[in-house]
Chains A and B, each alone.
Chain A
Amino acid sequence: MTTPVLSLNNLKAGYGQTEILHDLSMHVMPNEIVAIIGPNGAGKSTAMKSVLGLLNIREGSVELNGEAITDTPAQKVIEKGISYVPQTNNVFVNLSVQENLEMGAWTRPHGVEDRLAEMYDLFPDLSEKRGQAAGSLSGGQRQMVAMAKALMVDAKILLLDEPTAGLSPKYRGEIFSTIQKIKETGVPILIVEQNAKQALGVSDRGYVLVDGANRHEGTGAGLAADPEIARMFLGGGH
């Protein structure tokens, strides 16, 4: 069996004294898109932040390609090839698009020019806006900048925290198709989403998180078809 790119094993973690993740296990295999869905406050974003060493892990471990990275500081985790796009404030608003991408490449300063060209290939919209301040872009375009910025480091895995939150349906579709394009370049993706139906639609597998522990897991299509899950979270599907 191949080693997962990323695995979280029986994680107990939280902020300060408050424990949010009670017993969480999940993994991402190479070339996979994995979605984490669940109700508000289930600990979806927290799960992601625990990978980056941004909170106290009490028990359990996080592994990247079989190597333990539990409690490694964010900067080291990023150097190891985990790229993270926060939900909000994910671009430097006063920097131009190109400068944002350059900052994304901070931990891999060599060959920035080549990777910039790759990114403008992948995100053609950004190419013509490269000199513009990221703060002047629309929400969807900012999300593109944030993803491109995260991909500037030959990411081994990309973590996306609610990439479509607050976006119009048009941009939502665009983001999801970009996510698939990123997967085709060989980068596995772990994605936290509110728009469960759409997220499961593009995902190979998914986890349903309730109260800081995984409740269900399965293939994207399988979970989307599960009537219980449909009743719990999919509702009208926004």
Chain B
Amino acid sequence: MEAYTGYFLYILSLLTVGGIYAIFALGLNVQWGFAGLFNAGIVGFAAVGAYTYALLTTAESPFHIGGFGLPLPVGMAVAMAMSALIAGIIGLICIRLRSDYLAIATIGIGEIIKLILKNETDITNGPRGINKIPRAWEHFSEERFYTSWPMSWFGTPENWEAFFDGLPNWYWQPLFAGTIVLVVFIIYKMLERARLSPWGRMMTAIRENEPASRAAGKDVTRRRIEAFVIGAAIMGLGGALFAQHLRLIEPTNTFDPSKVTFLVWVMLIAGGSGNNKGAILGAYLIWTIWSASELLISGGIALISSTFDTLDPSILATRAGFLRMMLIGILMQVILQRYPGGILPEVRPASPKATKTTAGPTGD
């Protein structure tokens, strides 16, 4: 029975973290898959979302500004707005230029955001980070929530304590995982509608033939900024949920570009950029591989270090972690070259452009 609970909780954690990555991947899909915008600073938008959420929802703390103890949904909404705002500013500056510049600028903004988080210690507590971030469902069992409105309406603190004591300590896990899966589903549904709407078809047309779209009087730059901002808002939400999942965030290791930005790219490319289902599938698949390979490698290391006792298992473990990263990088290159469409290649909505392509390039 104990063992089954362990497996059950492992699967729940895969669903949770895979789901958070799926949200990032869906956000990236709006930017890259729909609009062809290269965002190399996903980590920055995730960090903005996570810190905004953390500062707004944590209890008051002497270490950082706030926390403001606001309700969780408010924190998540503002996290989205902040991330969108930053994307809007970058978009206004870079989107008219070629995609390479946007890539450079976004990788820059990712670093600058981390720099600010590290240096503005009065606001963010610097490298020590923010802890005790409330996690949805689990937060109900925290004193500051059950002693205040609205929970205090339904029971006295003593009732609540007794109630939570009666639950297994992992009671929140299925609920949190379920919530994340639900959020993924809602975002998916909304993006599918957007993709099939005139807006989505215009995005496809712009991506395929920008000059023609411009000539047809479309405001290409504006549409692109919209896509960039929407994608960033989704990433901000992903960041907020990431903060909930971790409960402790700090600028350096939590927001390591290779583990956030890069992994999300691999997920989207593997799943199929331009395809929302592909983004979700890629996220879950790559996360499962990533997570399972960690278990596999640590098993392997235990075996190796027990046979060769001259090797230090802790050094092997760190090196193996990098090897895993390298293999993921190679996996991405292979997918890019051999399977550019990913597992679920993009399905084009019937585009109004298709009827206009009879005039090819002329000879003069």
Contacts and interface: CB of A to CB of B under 8 A. Distances in A.
A–B proximity contact (CB within 8 A) = yes
Interface string A35-58: 000001111111100000000000
B361 A18 contact: yes
Contacts of A133: none
A15 interface: yes
B2 interface: no
Contacts of B361: 15, 18, 20
Interface residues of A, number: 16
Interface string A69-103: 00000000000000000000000000000000000
A46 B363 CA distance: 5
Interface string B327-364: 00000000000000000000000000000000011111
A47 B360 contact: no
A60 to B, nearest CB: 16
Nearest to A15: B361
A112 B361 CA distance: 38
A42 B360 contact: no
Nearest to B362: A41
Interface string A1-20: 00000000000001111101
A44 B360 contact: no
A43 B362 CA distance: 7
Contacts of A41: 362-364
B364 A40 contact: yes
Contacts of A14: 360
A16 B357 CA distance: 13
B360 A15 contact: yes
B160 to A, nearest CB: 68
Contacts of B360: 14-18, 20
- Point out which of B360, B362, B363 has the most chain A C-beta atoms below 10 A from its C-beta: B363
Nearest to A46: B363
28 contacts: A14-B360, A15-B360, A15-B361, A16-B360, A17-B360, A18-B360, A18-B361, A20-B360, A20-B361, A20-B362, A20-B363, A40-B362, A40-B364, A41-B362, A41-B363, A41-B364, A42-B363, A42-B364, A43-B362, A43-B363, A44-B363, A44-B364, A45-B363, A45-B364, A46-B363, A47-B363, A162-B364, A212-B363
Interface of B: 360-364
Given A20-B363, A40-B364, 11 more contacts: A14-B360, A15-B361, A18-B360, A20-B361, A40-B362, A41-B363, A41-B364, A43-B362, A44-B363, A45-B364, A47-B363
